[in-house]
Structure 1
Amino acid sequence: MNNSGILTKAIEATSPPLNWEVLEEEAPSSPGDADAILALRLKEGPAQRFAVEVKTVVRIETLRAQVTRSSAISRHPSWLVVVPYMSKKNSALCREAGLNFIDTAGNAFIDVPGCYVFITGKQRLEQEPVGSGHEVMGSASALRVIFTLLTEPGMPESPLRDIATKAGVSLGSAAKAMEGLRRLGHLSPGDTQSRRLLAVDTLRTEWARNYPIALRNKLKPQRYAPQNGRWWKDAKLQPEEAAWGGEVGAALKTSYLQPELATIYCWKDRGGLLMQHRLRPDPNGTVEILDAFWTPPSSSAEPIAPLLLIYADLMTSLDGRNRDVASLLRKEIFDAETAS
């Protein structure tokens, strides 16, 4: 299991009682860098941010030394160790050392202002066989393939090379993704023309759950500030250049939301978009721009991201209002995606 897979499974195993959001997931470039940045949503007060250290082998001395060294040279206030399994003995040692951790069995120790959780004694999960298929949900390229299969009509029965081209991945990556889906039971056996997706709603749910963990932060998300909060109502996006996601995308498709954050997926160079709409870089800005990862539509289409992506954006949000709307719109979004 790779680092992304360990992180995904540990988040799932500890939710609930913990409520996580992945803010960043990147390969560390220096000893003080984190493997990911997680936000822990609390019932009261602001979310607590953690810098994540993913470890495949658990040695308490190594963990203690690593966290001490990382904390000394890092800007991050809290560290979280994520491992495949933490034994009762090592759990107790982590608690004594003040090391926050979660594992893929659901064991956890979190001690930060506003939250204290200590779960220990949950048994180690049986190791999945190599090639079981679950690895596809932790792969950015595989998620691109799955998104293409879910949102492009007729794509599951298309030749593999066409699927790879449409998803923007290599032929080998597309083949691995298709085989992983077949092992998971989401792709029927048989030749190209008879191939179809199975348990599609479950696959959509899994894609939306894993999108922020394995793909979203590969799209170079950056925040910007507009000149006024309602600018998006008069903004005209060219559909072959950019598309609305998140809250604005949902508002344009429904009447449930009054957007506070504008999310834009962009195929073209961002410079022209920033100049046209007078957006300036601001880490706390209300506009987020990401690279678009699917094939741009024709110039006659609406400049709105596929509904599955809008749903995933809303579910990724720390705003409970967005998650409530996403839950209310789940059936509508999935039904509309099927018909599109």
Structure 2
Amino acid sequence: MNDTVFPADEASQVTRALAALRDSTGIEGGILPHQGGGSVLLHIAGRALRYECAVRRKVDRYGLLPDLARRHGGGPKTLLISAPLSAEMAGRCRELGLEFIDTAGNAYLNDSGIYIYVTGRRGQEALRPARDTVASPAALRMMFAFLAAPALLNASYRDLATHAGISTGVIGKALDALQARGLIGTGPDGRRRILQPEQFLNEWASGYLGRLRPRLARYRFASADFDRWSPAQGHSAWGGEVGAAYLTKHLQPRTATIYLDMSDPALLASMVREFGLREQADGHVEVVEMFWHAPSFVEWFPTVPPHLIYADLLGSGDVRHVPVAQQLAGQIVERLQQAPELAGVRR
């Protein structure tokens, strides 16, 4: 959940594009919350320009652009937000008068004396939207477990199922799918390993935001007395902004995201009662269902594993979170590369 009207995966792409625009041009922008449609505000030369957004993961055919231009022509100003556009696609957007920004920092903006045109930037892998994944929610739970504890790549199906909170029946098919995509492989010693840690992380985060998180029980609350709450190991842990602040010391939290073991309904009920929580759509306290075996992966307590915090930040739609998410991603990938299970993986 977030305060924007973008779905979580689109909010992540818009956030990355705004951060890339700032890097390439110095233009500041932000997502407008609670609007009738997905909107952004760009601050350029003392002016504030509001755009409705057309978010596209990939624009690789010329035929898509005239259709977009026609569909949005004559209405509110529309901004195409996409993965990195080729110079040819950027030029075609300009010919059609279709303003755009992308996740590499390329841009075309043209409004009453304001003219911005940037092309040729290919972007950094850390800012590219992850490739869409066909992973099922069960497979995403398994990927979460591998990121938290790479040793589980070679654990028994029974142990893996216990920690990940899945059935043993889905494991073989999910492993085959990961291997077919080149994300995991088998070394000379016959043991499985993650072959592409960065891509594995980003595929998991994208899949979590788009496929797993929407299925989880989630609640928003307001409370004037929540500062004294603290998590209990094996039952609850910080995610989101508070978790990121704890791990990086580089964020001032405005919201509190808590992952809670909801297999015991009494835990949520007692929290609501003790801290006077009131359900509120834009409340600053978010409680999300733990989707793994709650006593597992407690090495990071009082936070959840960092790759879950990384996904929370990407899905928030808050530009402040981009550098912190990048910092976490670098640390996660480095830890994976140094894991004994990944010895020999290209860095």
TM class, shorter-length: 0.5 to 0.7
Deviation at 1:163, TM superposition (A): 2.2
Aligned residue number for residue 310 of structure 1 = 309
Q: What corresponds to 1:162 in structure 2?
A: 159
Using structure 2 for the length normalisation, give the TM-score. Answer: 0.60
Q: In the alignment, which residue of structure 1 is the partner of 2:281?
A: 283
Distance 2:258 2:11 in 1: 27
Alignment partner, residue 95 of structure 2: none
Q: Given that residues 57 and 82 in structure 2 are in contact (C-alpha distance below 8 angstroms), is that contact kept between their aligned partners in structure 1?
A: yes
**AA of the residue aligned to 2:32:** P
Q: Which residue of 2 aligns with 1:238?
A: 232
- Is 1:254 paired with 2:252? no
- Matches of 1:253 and 1:294, distance apart in 2: 21
Q: 1:284, 1:9 → 2: CA distance?
A: 19
1:200: how far off?
1.9
* C-alpha contact (below 8 Å) 1:249/1:304 kept by paired residues: yes
Aligned partners of 2:296 and 2:166: how far apart in 1? 21
Q: Quick check: 1:308–1:334 contact (8 Å CA) kept in 2?
A: no
Name the residue aligned to 1:26. Answer: none
Q: Distance in 1 between matches of 2:101 and 2:330?
A: 36
The within-5 A match list for 1:321-340 is 321-336=320-335
Residue aligning to 1:36:
none
**Distance (whole Å) between structure 1 residues aligned to residue 163 and residue 330 of structure 2:** 26
**How much has 1:335 moved relative to structure 2?**
3.8
Q: Secondary structure at the match of 1:188?
A: strand
Please report how far the alpha carbon of residue 204 of structure 1 lies from its aligned counterpart in structure 2 after TM superposition: 1.3
TM-score by length of 1: 0.61
Kindly indicate whether the alpha-carbon contact (under 8 Å) linking 1:223 and 1:289 is maintained by their aligned counterparts in 2. yes
Q: Secondary structure at the match of 1:257?
A: coil
The superposition leaves residues 211-241 of structure 1 with CA deviations (integer Å, 9 ceiling, x where unpaired) of 211222211222111115xx33x21221122
Matched, 1:203 2:200: yes
Q: Is the 8 A contact 1:267 1:296 kept in 2?
A: yes
Superposition pairs of residues 45-194 of structure 1, within 5 angstroms: 46-47=32-33, 50=37, 91=68, 94-95=71-72, 117=100, 136-189=133-186, 194=191
Q: Distance in 2 between matches of 1:323 and 1:265?
A: 22
8 Å contact 1:223–1:283 — kept in the other structure?
Answer: yes
Distance change (3 Å), C-alpha of 1:184 and 1:83: closer
Q: Is the 8 A contact 1:148 1:166 kept in 2?
A: yes
CA contact (8 A) 1:221 1:288 kept: yes
Aligned positions, number = 267
**RMSD after superposition:** 4.5
The offset of 1:79, in angstroms, is 10
Q: 1:164 to 1:97 in 2, by over 3 A?
A: farther
For the residue of structure 1 that corresponds to 2:320, the secondary structure is helix
Q: Secondary structure at the match of 1:320?
A: coil
Which structure is higher in RCO with an 8 Å CA cutoff and minimum separation 6? Answer: 2
Residue 9 of structure 1: how far off its partner (Å): 10
8 Å CA contact 1:246–1:262 kept in 2: the answer is yes
> Partner letter of residue 43 of structure 1?
G
Task: Give the match's secondary structure for 1:260.
Answer: coil
- Structure 2 stretches lacking a partner, 5+ long: 1-6, 20-27, 39-51, 91-97, 103-130, 341-347
Identity %: 31
Q: Which amino acid aligns with 1:288?
A: E
How far did residue 288 of structure 1 move?
Answer: 0.6
How far apart, in 2, do the equivalents of 1:280 and 1:116 lie? Answer: 42
In the alignment, the residues of structure 1 paired with residue 284 and residue 184 of structure 2 have an alpha-carbon distance, to the nearest angstrom, of 39
